[in-house]
Amino acid sequence: MTVLVLAEHDLGALSPATARVVAAAGALGPVEVLVAGQNAVAVADQAALLAGVTRVRTAADVGLEAETLAPLLASLAADYTYIVAVSGGVGRDVIPRVAAKLDLMPVTDVTAIHGPDRFERPIYAGNAIETVVSAQSRQILTLRASAFLPPPVAAPNSAPIEPIADAGSTAVVRLLATHRTEGDRPDLGTARIVVGGGIAVGSAEGFRLIEALAAKLGAAVGATRAAVDAGYAPNDWQIGQTGKIIAPDLYIAIGISGALQHLAGIQGAKKIIAINTDPEAPLMKLADYRLVGDLFTVVPALIEALG
Amino acid sequence: MQKILVAVKRVVDHNVRIRVRPDGSGVETDNVRLSMNPFDKHAVEAAVQLAEQGQAAEIVVVSIGPKGATDVILTALAMGAHRGVLIETDEKVETLAVAKLLAALVREEKPDLVLLGKQAVDDDSNHVGQMLAGLLDWPQATFASGIKVAGEGVEVTREVDFGRVEYALPLPAIVTADLRLNTPRNAALPMVMKARSKPLAVRPAAEFGIDLAPKLKIERVSPPPERSGGETLTDIAALARLIADARAEAEIG
């Protein structure tokens, strides 16, 4: 019943989402972690510390592109009952390809594990939840990290790290350019506090105000699809059905009316505070706390009041 | 390139507020408005733009579903696709079987490029493009927000967790469309009329000899937990206290 979790990492750092997924996957069996791509060796050291990990396998010469990563995962599948990835950019890209190669139906965006073969996942932008039972010999899954708890604090583990022999492969696609959104804010998917801005923020300059409040609170910054489409915020800030899914302890929604596709991304938020001029906006109605007012007056005053 | 294949799906219109059936058997789809999956519209639009730029000679649009799914093929034909194929089945087909049917059609049609929406807004799976690429062993570019023909291949901008990346792909390839790829056109009435005279082949799914039996069992569909409305605050000092408390809780958390 061994589980292989594909590590998600960026710039040499293991993602906090991977730690959550490793902890959640512990319910399925002993967990091994695969770290592929650039910086695999440095990331493997971090993965080896996670509680419950029995082995870390590295494949530094295999790129994170689906064309190279999927054959590697498929070739390792025989050793595992579960292949699990974070439901992020890399996991969503590669997991269905792996599943097809193995002639299996994957279960993706899992938000709850109810046994070895029973999983919950949202459909219709989170407006319905389906319980899926898989009688397949092997389960190929992606887990929404935001739906699972961070790992409890435990004594550091020191799982053995083993490189996979002959794992190199030739790239099929060629990377031309990378456009990285600058910033040192926490990861949106796993942040404990998120400050989000909508179309009412009005401009990229307006978003500086949202960022200032987030900085004050050590929070991640998010945006609605409308704000991203308008060019006020970068695409990787988008929260919603087609963007990132968040489940913070506190979500502060500023100038956001609450389109269905945005609400799909925030259903896991434990507490929602909404600030908007329109008390009838859908998000104002479902927020735990609401304040009616102009964001350009309220937010600076709030930053001031927070000291 | 010679040919682009675009796959489209008929789904519950994204503006419809869906209702879960009280017996937990699924989402009510009777008597609700159905239309083309929004992401697939971006895929069709991308294909039509490539054809308009003289970069593609023919656009074939395919859908898998019951007779009624012809509607979304007609929508694509009205937007500018040249020819349609309906792979007809009344059964619910899982994403892997969809990918296998499409792979069979790709082997017949031999397109240079297959465009699909990145996910369907009913089951939100986000599988088919990647599965099709895996079955065919073709390169894939998912979550595309830009596409152009360059030399013998395509250059695609992909939306990723930390921003955007640009890749060059050799053809044939699979590209899945994200929302910022383009703005899909609304077909003018003459185009809608013209669409009805374009070739549209209806082929029973059974003809492809693929096992369509589901591998997963949907045990139950339930509505999400409800959120009840909260408290209205009137002053900023109270809001600041509330946030400070919540923040302290999150830190202990």
The answer to whether the peptide bond before residue B172 is cis (omega within 30 degrees of 0) is yes
Q: Which one of A124, A149, A185, A267 makes the best mutation probe of the B interface by having the most chain B beta carbons within 10 Å?
A: A124
* Residue A79: DSSP 8-state: G
What angle, rounded to 10 degrees, do the helices at B95-109 and B128-136 form? 50
Please tell me the total number of residues recorded for chain A in this structure. 307
Pair A93, A198 in one domain:
no
| Of A100, A125, A250, Cβ closest to residue B124 | A125
State the smallest CA–CA distance between residue B233 and chain A in angstroms: 5
Which residue is closest to A180 within chain B, CA to CA?
B163
- Return d(Cα A216, Cα A122) in angstroms, integer: 33
Which residue is closest to B182 within chain A, CA to CA?
A229
Number of Cβ atoms within 10 Å of the Cβ of B202: 12
Domain boundary among A111, A146, A163: A163
Pair A205, A120 in one domain:
no
State the smallest CA–CA distance between residue B198 and chain A in angstroms: 33
Residue A100 lies in a domain: yes
CATH of the domain at A202: 3.40.50.1220
Q: How confident is the model at residue B251 (pLDDT cuts 50, 70, 90)?
A: low
CA dihedral (B239, B244, B247, B248) in degrees, to 10, reads: -140
Q: With CB atoms and an 8 Å threshold, state whether A292 touches B139.
A: no
pLDDT in tens, B177-192: 998 999 999 988 899 9
Which residue is closest to A271 within chain B, CA to CA?
B246
Pair A20, A142 in one domain:
yes
CATH of the domain at A55: 3.40.50.620
Q: H or E element: which one contains A91?
A: helix A89-101
pLDDT in tens, A66-112: 999 999 999 999 999 999 999 999 999 999 999 999 999 999 999 99
SS3 of chain B: helix, strand, coil, percent, to 5: 35, 30, 35
What is the average per-residue pLDDT within A151-159?
87
Residue A185 lies in a domain: no
pLDDT of residue B226: 77
Number of Cβ atoms within 10 Å of the Cβ of B15: 9
Q: How confident is the model at residue A125 (pLDDT cuts 50, 70, 90)?
A: confident
Q: What's the Cα-to-Cα distance from A248 to each of A120, A187, A188, B61, rounded to whole Å?
A: 20, 11, 9, 41
The answer, yes or no, to whether residue B252 has pLDDT greater than 60, is no
Residue A112 lies in a domain: yes
Pick the more confident residue, A70 or B228: A70
pLDDT of residue A187: 85
Domain that holds residue A300: 193-305
pLDDT in tens, B52-80: 999 999 999 999 999 999 999 999 999 99
pLDDT in tens, A172-186: 999 999 999 877 788
Residue A169 lies in a domain: no
The answer, yes or no, to whether residue B235 has pLDDT greater than 80, is yes
Bridge partner residues of B170 (DSSP): B153
Residue A174 lies in a domain: no
The answer, yes or no, to whether residue B220 has pLDDT greater than 80, is yes
Domains defined for chain B, CATH in brackets: 3-208 (3.40.50.620)
Q: Is B242 at the interface with chain A, CB within 8 A?
A: yes
Q: With CB atoms and an 8 Å threshold, state whether A287 touches B230.
A: yes
Pair A60, A130 in one domain:
yes
Q: H or E element: which one contains B54?
A: none
Pair A130, A249 in one domain:
no
Pair A201, A154 in one domain:
no
- In B134-153, the residues whose Cβ lies within 8 Å of chain A are 134-135, 139-143, 145
CB contacts of A129 in chain B (<8 Å) are 221-224
User: Whose structure tokens read 């105000």?
Assistant: A209
Contact pairs from chain A to chain B, CB under 8 Å: 248
Residue A186 lies in a domain: no
Pair A208, A139 in one domain:
no
Pair A104, A212 in one domain:
no
pTM: 0.92
What is the average per-residue pLDDT within A194-204?
96
User: Does residue B122 sit in helix, strand or coil?
Assistant: coil
- In B58-77, the residues whose Cβ lies within 8 Å of chain A are none
Q: With CB atoms and an 8 Å threshold, state whether A66 touches B130.
A: yes
pLDDT in tens, B81-128: 999 999 999 999 999 999 999 999 999 999 999 999 999 999 999 999
| Of A96, A124, A250, Cβ closest to residue B131 | A96
What is the average per-residue pLDDT within A190-199?
94
Q: Which one of A235, A267, A277, A278 makes the best mutation probe of the B interface by having the most chain B beta carbons within 10 Å?
A: A235
pLDDT of residue B227: 72
pLDDT in tens, B138-171: 999 999 999 999 999 999 999 999 899 999 999 9
Q: With CB atoms and an 8 Å threshold, state whether B250 touches A193.
A: yes
Pair A206, A128 in one domain:
no
Helices (H), chain B: 38-52, 70-79, 95-109, 128-136, 189-195, 236-252
The answer, yes or no, to whether residue A250 has pLDDT greater than 70, is yes
pLDDT of residue B32: 95
Phi/psi for B51 (5° steps) reads -65, -40
Which residue is closest to B215 within chain A, CA to CA?
A105
| Of A176, A177, A291, Cβ closest to residue B239 | A291
Residue A182 lies in a domain: no
Phi/psi for A285 (5° steps) reads -75, -35
Pair A21, A136 in one domain:
yes
User: Does residue B224 sit in helix, strand or coil?
Assistant: coil
Domain count, chain A: 2
Pair A153, A200 in one domain:
no
Share of chain B above pLDDT 90, in %: 85
| CA angle centred on A206, ends A200 and A211, rounded to 5° | 110
Which among B224, B251, B243, B225 has a CA at the least distance from the CA of A275?
Answer: B243
| CA angle centred on A186, ends A182 and A187, rounded to 5° | 90
Q: Tell me which amino acid residue B87 is.
A: I
Pair A116, A69 in one domain:
yes
Residue A17 lies in a domain: yes
Mean per-residue pLDDT of chain B: 94
Structure tokens at A285: 């109605």
Q: Could you tell me how far CA A193 lies from the centroid of its own chain?
A: 15
What angle, rounded to 10 degrees, do the helices at A89-101 and A66-76 form? 50
State the smallest CA–CA distance between residue A213 and chain B in angstroms: 11
pLDDT of residue B253: 44
Domain boundary among A109, A141, A163: A163
